[in-house]
Amino acid sequence: MDSYVRQPEALQNRAWQEPPSQVPTVKRIVILGRGGAGKSTLAQRLGQALRSPVTELDSIFWKPGPKPTPKHEWEQIQHRLLAGNRWVIDGDLGPYDIHLAMRLSAADTIAVLDFPLWRCIWRTLRRSRETREYWQWVYHYRRKSLPAITYAIEKHAAHADLYILRNPKEVQRFLDTARP
């Protein structure tokens, strides 16, 4: 298992260090992690396995430019996304994620992909060109974004099962054991 650099203490006590032999029933899952970690791939695979609709937040949130969706419009979209009984929502919008608490409160399962920086950079370079702002977010993720996510999980999702997945092998084990 990859070693973890500065794992937040609040998550150490809550998260499964390795997925158990069978993941509890999953109906509403939020997938978070730095860019290039594989959130969208995991979401698609989970959606198929669980027969649940999948939403990739980046495809909805970012308008051409790229420009973020206006706050009032984004809140309405979040309410619609969370209304269903079953869903997989993938997306970590970093500093733009003003409604993360809403998604966390509605989730029964949270998966945080905490892959090493080098892996995320490699994957991003293989798939697309990105902005300077994106690269700064990816680079500073563990220092800036992850603590904010940790706080939000502790505050708004104490009821949810939490999985910290650090490498593709752990992601595969999680997928193999997830059930509807």
Q: Does residue 1 sit within a domain?
A: no
Mean pLDDT over each residue of the chain, to the nearest integer = 84
**Per-residue confidence (pLDDT) for residue 118, from 0 to 100:** 84
- pLDDT single digits (tens) 139-151: 988 888 888 899 9
Q: What is the mean pLDDT of residues 43-68?
A: 92
Q: Does residue 13 sit within a domain?
A: yes
Listed residue (130, 113, 129, 131) closest to 42, CA to CA: 113
Q: Does residue 2 sit within a domain?
A: no
Listed residue (55, 133, 61) closest to 97, CA to CA: 61
Angle 73-54-85 from CA coordinates, rounded to 5°: 85
Q: Which residues contact 136 (CB under 8 A, 6 or more apart)?
A: none
Give the predicted TM-score (pTM) of the model: 0.83
Instruction: Give dist(CA 138, CA 85) in Å, integer.
Output: 32
Q: Does residue 93 sit within a domain?
A: yes
Burial 110-125 (b: 16+ CB within 10 A, else e): bbbbbbbeebbbebbe
Domain enclosing residue 101, as ranges: 9-177
Share of the chain above pLDDT 90, in %: 48
Instruction: Give dist(CA 164, CA 14) in Å, integer.
Output: 10
Q: Does residue 67 sit within a domain?
A: yes
pLDDT band at 98 (very low <50, low <70, confident <90, very high): confident
CB 175 within 8 A of CB 46: yes
Look up residue 66 and give its amino acid: P
- pLDDT single digits (tens) 117-164: 888 888 888 887 787 888 888 898 888 888 889 999 999 998 898 999
- pLDDT single digits (tens) 11-37: 555 555 555 555 567 899 999 999 888
Domain count for the chain: 1
CB 99 within 8 A of CB 105: no
**Per-residue confidence (pLDDT) for residue 24, from 0 to 100:** 62
Q: Tokens for 22, please give them.
A: 């069978």
In DSSP notation, 61-127 reads HEETTTEEPPHHHHHHHHHHHHTSSSEEEE---GGG-TTHHHHHHH-SEEEEE---HHHHHHHHHHH
Q: What is the mean pLDDT of residues 77-100?
A: 91
Q: Does residue 3 sit within a domain?
A: no
Q: Which residue has the higher pLDDT, 3 or 42?
A: 42
Question: Does 80 have pLDDT greater than 90?
Answer: yes
Residue 24: give its domain's CATH number. 3.40.50.300
Question: Does 179 have pLDDT greater than 80?
Answer: no
Q: Does residue 142 sit within a domain?
A: yes
